[in-house]
Amino acid sequence: MWTCKTTWKKLAPLARTCSTLCRQNARRTVLNSDRRLPMVTQAHMSSGTPGSGGDNNLYYLLVGATCIAGGFYAYRTIKGDQERYNERMNEIASRANKVAEQAETYLPEEPRGDEAVETPEETSPEVTAEEPEGPPVELEAEIEEAPVADLALEEVVEMPCAPTQSEPSPVAESPPAETAEPQTTTVTESAADPATDEPTNVPPPAPVEFPSHAPYLLIGGGTASFAAARSIRARDPGARVLIITDEPDLPYMRPPLSKELWFSDDPGVVDTLRFKQWNGKERSIYFQPPSFYVSPQDLEKVENGGVAVLTGKKVVHMDVRGNKVTLSDNTEISYDKCLIATGGVPRNLQVIERAGEEVTKRTTLFRKVEDFKALNKVSRDTKSITIIGGGFLGSELACALGRRSADSDLEVIQMFPEKGNMGKVLPEYLSNWTTAKVRSEGVRVITEALVKGVSFKDGKVEIKLKDGRVVKTDHIVAAVGLEPSVELAKSAGLEVDSDFGGYRVNAELQARSNIWVAGDAACFYDIRLGRRRVEHHDHAVVSGRLAGENMTGANKPYWHQSMFWSDLGPDVGYEAIGIVDSSLPTVGVFAKATAKDTPKAATEKSGTGIRSESETEGTASSTATSSTPAPPPEPQQKDDYGKGVIFYLRDKVVVGIVLWNVFNRMPIARKIIKDGEEHADLNEVAKLFNIHED
């Protein structure tokens, strides 16, 4: 996908010159022929060219052919667009509550309807000149616009209003999908009456169901947002916090969706979303039950403030100067301090997107609660599921489904381009070992698999790999990464990082004076490890908390290093911290694992539910647990990576640590990374972890 982008970027100048050439030819043709486009004659070069007669003829031929082609193309395009334009007009006109306004608005435009299709051609050369990327689809979008010049409208809902947008440049940048969304006429109205009438023309906001002002506004309702809300409430007494999320659910945690929820014995787990932790304690994935939250309409009035959640609403526009946001239903909410915690959306493979509806409806992009419910159902109804992707999510789902396949005749396949599971995270020897473990969970793992094409044939989804292998399956789960959601960057004028994606923020997670970003969407500066973007749960908690603290005046940088963990079945689990990239040189120190060194044992021992809990709440169980020393392990005869510590080095400094089946040692690991020292002998450092003990 990245290569596609880079390739396209390279081709773009070429595309631009071609289209410019076409445009210019077409324009000349149009102007010459006074409104409608007949076939063009070679009337251009009246001034004659230097050179011999033969050359001239050839020249005329060439130019003539180009003009004909250009003219023909433009004619076809415009014809096609005229139809689409009319369709669009009809669709908008049919919207009940905006009919009257539209009648006014479109009247001035309709007589120009014919002209409108031509005149955009004039604007489009400028636009294509502005925009480096000018694929034909965007060109068509521009042709549909009313070419009104007013660009400075603050009220304008830019993103969704592509077709009638008065601003060519944002539209050209927004993906073609935008043009397919017909939008409100507020923009056309403002476009038609530049500058003066916007406030009056904006349709009155929906009946007051939510506050018009929130002192603390959190965009996004995930882990980072909730952590920030808690932090704000703790530090600012009586704070009023409004969370806006486009999901229908209250804030919940994601890790159980690919782990614990699958191992639950309760058949009703899909509805309750409660899971039993290994120590028997049950909890919900929701951070707090609904009674914790205040209802949005009471937020401004309730005595001691609180946290309100607005579900099913998406923030589409952000006005940084005016300190307000606009929702998808045109409501405006102003804020004093704002947090953007919009997370991301799962990436998809292009071959799947292009494969047609039969394939896409059999593909799951796993992220939310509804995806879990859907996949759960699928796993009971189909015979074969293929997971594409060998990272955290892919491997965890493979293990979860593999476990389920033990009781049914479900076939679970996992395929990815690397040589082993977690190939980008763990060093090769450990990645191979992990792959063996995943296979033992009942998963058919296909390594070094590059998907070349996907199709639907004879009731089965057929995946063709680059090396010729074909895999037939009923359902696909694509776990190929996360695309951070940065749609607000344009309207808010926020910087987006080109290396890691996400909003670019400083070490204190601040993007602008009153705007912070946390969680998956934040590309922040880590004082110790450099600029990075982290997509893990604990990071969302840590960064959310930090953002909340900074929103209440703490001015602290990102300092407390977040950790992450993964369990692949009951026998393999690891915790990690820092930069854990398999391309870095590593040093691993291992001891042989005893039966006591499994994730299950770790939680039973510390008496806490989720393994991550054992680090919190001042439980002194971390390093102080007394335990009987394990019997001395036999000298290693074969390579068994039962438990150990792996150090990831960058310029001889430890920047990442994986604790392999060794638990409750995270504080030491954190300290080593924080120090950032060069250690001559990492075996000595490994001694600090007491890996032989429980």
- Binding status of residue 659 toward other proteins by CB under 8 A: no
* Per-position x/- string for 291-310, each x denoting binding to other proteins as judged by CB under 8 A, each - no binding: xx-x---------x-xx---
Which region, left, alpha or beta, applies to residue 581 given φ > 0 means left and ψ of -120 to 50 means alpha?
beta
- Binding status of residue 556 toward other proteins by CB under 8 A: yes
Q: Where are the alpha helices (DSSP H) in 493-589?
A: 537-551
Stretch that binds other proteins, among 86-94, 262-270, 436-444, 557-565 (CB under 8 A): 557-565
Binding residue for other proteins, selected from 310, 563, 577, 657, defined by CB under 8 A: 563
- Binding status of residue 653 toward other proteins by CB under 8 A: no
CA distance 154 to 80: 33
CA distance 251 to 285: 9
- Binding status of residue 632 toward other proteins by CB under 8 A: yes
Strand partners, 345: 483
Binding residue for other proteins, selected from 460, 557, 571, 604, defined by CB under 8 A: 557
CA 525 to chain centre: 20
Stretch that binds other proteins, among 335-343, 416-424, 497-505, 538-546 (CB under 8 A): 538-546
Residues 156-185 interacting with other proteins (rule: CB under 8 A) = none
Stretch that binds other proteins, among 180-188, 202-210, 476-484, 623-631 (CB under 8 A): 623-631
Binding residue for other proteins, selected from 30, 40, 157, 229, defined by CB under 8 A: 229
- Binding status of residue 581 toward other proteins by CB under 8 A: no
**CA-closest candidate to residue 653, choices 628, 623, 674:** 674
Residues 455-474 interacting with other proteins (rule: CB under 8 A) = none
Q: Where are the alpha helices (DSSP H) in 247-332?
A: 255-258, 269-272
Torsion of CA 601, 606, 609, 615, to 10 degrees: -120
CA distance 189 to 185: 6
At residue 93, the 3 state secondary structure works out as helix
CB of 577 to other proteins, least distance (A): 11
Residues 188-227 interacting with other proteins (rule: CB under 8 A) = 223, 226-227
Q: What is the DSSP string of 409-441?
A: --EEEEE-SSSSTTTTTS-HHHHHHHHHHHHHT
CB of 436 to other proteins, least distance (A): 16
Residues 498-527 interacting with other proteins (rule: CB under 8 A) = none
Stretch that binds other proteins, among 212-220, 232-240, 365-373, 496-504 (CB under 8 A): 232-240
**CA-closest candidate to residue 417, choices 384, 391, 444:** 391
Task: Rank residues 71 and 599 by Cβ distance to other proteins and give the closer one.
Answer: 599
CA distance 581 to 227: 27
CB of 421 to other proteins, least distance (A): 17
What is the torsional sign of CA 426, 427, 430, 433? Answer: positive
CB of 639 to other proteins, least distance (A): 8
| Residue 680: exposure state from Cβ atoms within 10 A (0-12, 13-18, ≥19) | exposed
CB of 165 to other proteins, least distance (A): 41
Structural contact between residues 216 and 242, judged by C-beta atoms closer than 8 angstroms: yes
CA distance 423 to 417: 9
Task: Rank residues 160 and 306 by Cβ distance to other proteins and give the closer one.
Answer: 306
Structure tokens at 28: 């000349």
Amino acid present at 17: T
Count CA atoms within 13 Å of residue 126 on its CB side.
9
Task: Rank residues 373 and 679 by Cβ distance to other proteins and give the closer one.
Answer: 679
CA distance 388 to 465: 12
- Binding status of residue 684 toward other proteins by CB under 8 A: yes
- Binding status of residue 99 toward other proteins by CB under 8 A: no
Burial of 475-484, coded b for 16+ CB within 10 Å and e otherwise, reads bbbbbbbbeb
Stretch that binds other proteins, among 48-56, 104-112, 134-142, 289-297 (CB under 8 A): 289-297
How far, in Å, are 70, 487, 591, 622 from residue 160 at the CA level? 31, 11, 58, 51
Return the CA Rg of the chain. Answer: 30
Q: Where are the alpha helices (DSSP H) in 273-353?
A: 350-353
- Binding status of residue 528 toward other proteins by CB under 8 A: no
Amino acid present at 248: P
- Binding status of residue 562 toward other proteins by CB under 8 A: yes
Residues 249-268 interacting with other proteins (rule: CB under 8 A) = 253
Stretch that binds other proteins, among 67-75, 137-145, 189-197, 582-590 (CB under 8 A): 582-590
DSSP secondary structure letter of residue 263: G
Task: Rank residues 557 and 570 by Cβ distance to other proteins and give the closer one.
Answer: 557
CB of 390 to other proteins, least distance (A): 19
Task: Rank residues 113 and 633 by Cβ distance to other proteins and give the closer one.
Answer: 633
Binding residue for other proteins, selected from 109, 619, 625, 650, defined by CB under 8 A: 619
Strand partners, 339: 218, 516
Stretch that binds other proteins, among 191-199, 416-424, 572-580, 683-691 (CB under 8 A): 683-691
Task: Rank residues 191 and 686 by Cβ distance to other proteins and give the closer one.
Answer: 686
Burial of 178-205, coded b for 16+ CB within 10 Å and e otherwise, reads bbeebbbbbbbbbbbbeeeebeebbeeb
At residue 199, the 3 state secondary structure works out as helix
Stretch that binds other proteins, among 69-77, 94-102, 336-344, 677-685 (CB under 8 A): 677-685
- Binding status of residue 549 toward other proteins by CB under 8 A: yes
- Binding status of residue 231 toward other proteins by CB under 8 A: yes
Stretch that binds other proteins, among 172-180, 205-213, 350-358, 421-429 (CB under 8 A): 421-429
CB of 685 to other proteins, least distance (A): 4
Stretch that binds other proteins, among 2-10, 330-338, 353-361, 610-618 (CB under 8 A): 610-618
Binding residue for other proteins, selected from 102, 323, 330, 612, defined by CB under 8 A: 612
Binding residue for other proteins, selected from 23, 475, 532, 545, defined by CB under 8 A: 545
